[in-house]
Amino acid sequence: SVKFSPSRADLLVASSWDKTVRIYNANKNQLLHKYEHTSAVLDSVLTEDDQAVFGGLGGEVLMTSIGNEKATLIGSHEKGVKCVRYNLKQNLLITGSWDATIKRWDNRIENSQCQTINTPGGVLAMDIAPNGTYIVVATKENKCYLYDIRKTDNHLSLYEKRNSTLSHQIRCVRCSPSSREFVLSSTEGRISMNCYSAQEQAKKGYAFKCHVNKKEDVYTLYPVNTIDFHPIYHTFASGGCDGMVFMWDGVAKKKLPKTSLYPTSVASLSFNINGTLLAIASSYTWELGEKEHEKDEIFIQPVDD
pLDDT of residue 294: 86
Please state, in angstroms and rounded to a whole number, the distance separating the CA atoms of residues 147 and 160. Answer: 7
Residue 258's pLDDT band (boundaries 50, 70, 90)? confident
For residue 286, name the pLDDT band (cuts at 50, 70, 90): confident
Mean pLDDT of the chain: 92
Q: Are strands 157-163 and 170-175 parallel, antiparallel or unpaired?
A: unpaired
Percent share of the chain, pLDDT over 70:
96
Query: Greater confidence, 230 or 156?
Result: 230
Helices (H), the chain: 198-204
In this predicted model, what pLDDT tens digit does every residue of 154-189 receive, in sequence order? 578 888 999 898 989 999 999 999 999 999 999 999
Residues 178, 163 contacting (CB under 8 angstroms): no
Element of type H or E holding 280: strand 277-282
Alpha-carbon torsion, ordered 140, 141, 143, 146, to 10 deg: -60
Asked if 39 and 19 touch (Cβ cutoff 8 Å), the reply is: yes
pLDDT at 214 over 90: no
Give me the phi and psi of 199, to 5 degrees please. Answer: -65, -45
Tell me the helices (H) and strands (E) count for the chain, helix number first: 1, 29
Predicted confidence at residue 115, as pLDDT, reads 86
Specify the range with the lowest mean pLDDT, choosing from 98-112, 192-206, 207-221, 291-305: 98-112
Is 108's pLDDT higher than 80? no
pTM confidence score: 0.93
